[in-house]
């Protein structure tokens, strides 16, 4: 039995202690003895599985990460927005490899090199987990999410691809293993954080309790309670790397205590189905939002407009620029969205689009398949 190791942001170590410490190699899809194994590393399938389908189509939803004080450890999936992947067994593709055949949708400027594409990286990682050496795959990616939107665009592509590979070979891997495969992709494009990829794959709210080892906890929002997200996306790109670079390197103890209490309130609100308390906690970040909001034209005015219109809370979705507000009624959400759109134009001179979405409780899933 072999194991698949994942790149760690900390200093790599060797399986076989060298006489002198080597320089860390660049992240690669090729096996390397200098990748540090996490405690949650998945064991490869002992016997290479046969494909059970010749073709599958999967969908992965958009996600809202951070949720204010939950920076890098809390996120949720939202219904109705996301990416699709179509994956086929392709004899023309070299065995053990994946080829990206087509990219359509909101953007076509993504690389078709699977080593430089979120979907390709996640697909390769999943193939490695399964030990696929005898079959080649071709992949079509349909983007439903724009790049740099703050809605987990890269995670949606990675999640859809990882699930597609897993499905075509008979669903041998569990969801946490697929999150690890998606993290391979996230690590290359936006950093080693799971608050997008975990809910994209698992659905609902997901708490990342630990990264080493990876420890995920799904938080169940009560079935009998309503929760709606008002998502307002302006015509403005906020690259994740740029927005992360703006974060403070040190924070006052008083802000640490405050954000910790708000994050705890956020988790309690999810478990209790208390949309009002969830919104209040979501709006109360004193560490990340204050440094990022000034970089998004009109964001402060948008938050004020949402709250004045009756939203329980409002903050930046992920790294932005999308603003997210929460409410417990769809009709009220539509009115709030209109006010937020007006505020983006008035305060930031930005056109924007509003949508009202429910919580996606399923996560990435199979849409259709063709049996062998």
- Largest CA-CA distance found in the chain, in angstroms, rounded: 67
Instruction: Give every CB contact of residue 120 below 8 A, 6+ residues apart in sequence.
Output: 98, 100, 113, 114, 139, 161
**203 class by beta-carbon count within 10 Å (0-12 exposed, 13-18 middle, 19+ buried):** buried
Cross-strand bridge partners of residue 234: 352
Q: Which of 240, 289, 315, 322 is catalytic?
A: 240
> Active-site residue among 186, 289, 315, 322?
186
Active site residue 322: no
Asked if 106 is an active-site residue, the reply is no
d(CA 194, CA 239): 17
Q: φ and ψ at 277, to 5 degrees?
A: -70, -35
Exposed (0-12), middle (13-18) or buried (19+): which is 319, by Cβ within 10 Å? buried
Ramachandran region, residue 234 (left: φ > 0; alpha: ψ -120 to 50; beta: rest): beta
Q: Is the peptide bond before 213 cis (omega within 30 degrees of 0)?
A: yes
- Catalytic center residues: 186, 240
């Amino acid at each position: 039995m072999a194991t698949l190791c994942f790149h760690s942001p900390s200093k790599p170590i060797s399986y076989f202690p060298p006489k002198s410490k080597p320089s860390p190699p660049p992240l690669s899809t090729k096996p390397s003895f200098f990748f540090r194994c996490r405690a949650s590393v998945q064991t490869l399938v002992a016997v290479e599985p046969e494909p059970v389908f010749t073709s599958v189509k999967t969908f992965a939803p958009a996600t809202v990460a951070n949720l204010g004080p939950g920076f890098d450890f809390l996120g949720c999936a939202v219904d109705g927005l996301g990416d699709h992947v179509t994956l086929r067994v392709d004899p023309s593709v070299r065995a053990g490899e994946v080829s990206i055949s087509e990219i359509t949708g909101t953007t076509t400027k993504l690389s078709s090199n699977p080593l430089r594409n979120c979907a390709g990286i996640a697909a390769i990682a999943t193939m490695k987990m399964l030990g696929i050496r005898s079959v080649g795959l071709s992949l079509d990616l349909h983007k439903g999410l724009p790049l740099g939107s703050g809605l987990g665009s890269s995670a949606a592509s990675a999640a859809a691809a990882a699930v597609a590979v897993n499905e075509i070979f008979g669903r041998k891997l569990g969801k946490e293993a697929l999150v690890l495969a998606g993290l391979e992709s996230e690590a290359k494009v936006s950093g080693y954080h799971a608050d997008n990829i975990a809910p994209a794959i698992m659905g609902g709210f997901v708490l990342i309790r630990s990264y080493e080892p990876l420890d995920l906890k799904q938080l169940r929002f009560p079935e009998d309670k309503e929760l709606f997200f008002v998502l307002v996306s302006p015509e403005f790109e906020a690259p994740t790397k740029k927005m992360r670079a703006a974060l403070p390197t040190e924070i006052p103890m008083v802000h640490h205590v405050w954000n910790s209490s708000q994050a705890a309130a956020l988790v309690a609100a999810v478990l209790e189905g208390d949309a009002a308390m969830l919104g209040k906690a979501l709006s109360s970040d004193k560490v990340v939002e204050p440094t990022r909001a000034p970089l998004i034209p009109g964001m402060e005015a948008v938050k004020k407009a949402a709250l004045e219109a009756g939203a329980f809370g409002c903050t930046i979705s992920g790294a932005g620029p999308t603003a997210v507000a929460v409410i417990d009624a769809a009709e009220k959400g539509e009115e709030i969205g209109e006010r937020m759109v007006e505020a983006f134009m008035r305060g930031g001179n930005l056109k924007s689009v509003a949508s009202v979405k429910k919580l996606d409780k399923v996560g990435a899933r199979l849409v259709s398949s063709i049996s062998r």
